[in-house]
Amino acid sequence: MTDSKIAKVELGTGGPEVGVQGLGCMGMSFAYGPTDADEARATLERALELGVTHYDTADAYGQGENEKFLSPFFKAHRDEVVIATKFALAIPPDEPTKRIIRNDVPYIRQAVEASLKRLDLDVIDLYYMHRRDPSVPIEETVGVMAELVREGKVKHLGLSEVTGGELRAAQAVHPIAAVQSEWSLFSRDIEAGVVPAARELGVALVPYSPLGRGFLTGSFANAEKDLTADDFRRMQPRFTGENAAANVALLEPIRAVADSHSASLGQIALAWVQQQAAMHGLPVVPIPGTRKRSRIEENVAATRMVLSEDDMALLEPIASKVAGTRYADMTFTSAGRE
Ligand SMILES: NC(=O)c1ccc[n+]([C@@H]2O[C@H](COP(=O)([O-])OP(=O)(O)OC[C@H]3O[C@@H](n4cnc5c(N)ncnc54)[C@H](OP(=O)(O)O)[C@@H]3O)[C@@H](O)[C@H]2O)c1
């Protein structure tokens, strides 16, 4: 593949300019089984060579380990990269295996300092609320996030898995650059409320898990059989048992489109997200996650693909047929509150 860089897009009105595809870094330390750290580091460097400038992490990924892992790469390329991290998934002191959602002011103040320390940076480019605790008014949460901007600790604000209504309320307090939500051929619930609100407000969409956590690439068919015991996907209802078997059959139209483009299934999934967002009139920066150089090259190449109307029509019914929800507990998502 050539080293020509991918196109750029503004990450929300007034937001930073970034490559049209970002890199999700979660799997480098967390959730998806063992990692080859040297290959992951090489993947970060290769991504940057190809014009990927937006890198996504969170304090919760490996309890801070992901931020620490990424820090040397970020520091070596500080002026070339736009770094996103997140707060809100807290570990209760007496239950280290549990996660609770914290949106309160003292927690956010503590979380931002901890992320800055682990990243060893003076400022975070894009700071997200990772998950929403509806018991805390969103105005209060975004109010303190806005203070962090004024104090120079954070440049831009983002929200993950918020509803359209929550996004509107937040935007009334401070401009929001980006909403990060799951969006893929298998997960389209955000098109009902979040996508129209983002378009109306000039907020960019950062689709996470655009490859359906790898399932849309055909790289695994059943999480319980194909993935290691600690892999998070074994807890996701659509990747196990009868659901998984039914969902594998839904890859067939993707395979047909892929064959007609001499492309991979994953490339079709990524091209679809890009094109679907364009149809909705939205700036979009999907953040597929990979730890492998060969896959970053494949994924980045999808930004240059164009799907025809016939292709889009063939792919259209897939999401409505998916068996099983995207999380075991959907209150964790915007769809659970819309
Ligand atoms: N806001 C949130 O709540 C939230 C939730 C989940 C994720 N995220 C963010 O979104 C990012 C991306 O989501 P994700 O990692 O869950 O899912 P994803 O991007 O849909 O899929 C990642 C999986 O696909 C595999 N993969 C990547 N490219 C491939 C290719 N070309 N061929 C075959 N397999 C390929 C990866 O394996 P290898 O790594 O081995 O290549 C990994 O297992 C994360 O890294 C994280 O930063 C945010």
Is there an atom of ligand 1 within 6 Å of 270 CB?
Answer: no
| Sign of the alpha-carbon dihedral angle for 326, 30, 267, 79 | positive
Query: What's the CA gap between 70 and 82, in Å, rounded?
Result: 12
pLDDT at site 275: 98
Domain 10-332 homologous superfamily, CATH: NADP-dependent oxidoreductase domain (3.20.20.100)
Segment 184-234, tens digit of pLDDT: 999 999 999 999 999 999 999 999 999 999 999 999 999 999 999 999 999
Q: Is 152 exposed, middle or buried (0-12, 13-18, 19+ CB in 10 A)?
A: exposed
Residue whose CA is at the smallest distance from ligand 1 atom 39: 290
- Which of 162, 323, 325 lies closest to 235 in space, CA to CA? 325
The alpha carbon of 172 and the centre of ligand 1 are apart by a number of angstroms equal to: 32
Q: How confident is the model at residue 92 (pLDDT cuts 50, 70, 90)?
A: confident
The alpha carbon of 187 and the centre of ligand 1 are apart by a number of angstroms equal to: 14
Query: What's the CA gap between 129 and 141, in Å, rounded?
Result: 8
Computed over every residue of the chain, the mean pLDDT equals 96
Q: Which of the residues 61, 127, 128, 208 is marked catalytic? A: 61
Indicate the SS3 state at residue 319. Answer: helix
Tokens describing residue 2? 């050539």
pLDDT at site 237: 95
Q: Tell me if the pTM is above 0.95.
A: yes
Query: What's the CA gap between 16 and 326, in Å, rounded?
Result: 30
Residue 1 has pLDDT above 70, yes or no: no
Q: Ligand 1 test: best mutation among 131, 179, 211, most atoms within 8 Å of CB? A: 211
Segment 36-48, tens digit of pLDDT: 999 999 999 999 9
Residue 177 has pLDDT above 90, yes or no: yes
The alpha carbon of 299 and the centre of ligand 1 are apart by a number of angstroms equal to: 11
Beta bridge partner(s), residue 154: 124
- Which of 181, 318, 304, 155 lies closest to 247 in space, CA to CA? 318
Mean pLDDT of 245-251: 97
Tokens describing residue 212? 């359906």
Q: For this structure, is 107 an active site residue?
A: no
Neighbouring C-beta atoms of residue 245, cutoff 10 Å: 12
Residue 27 has pLDDT above 80, yes or no: yes
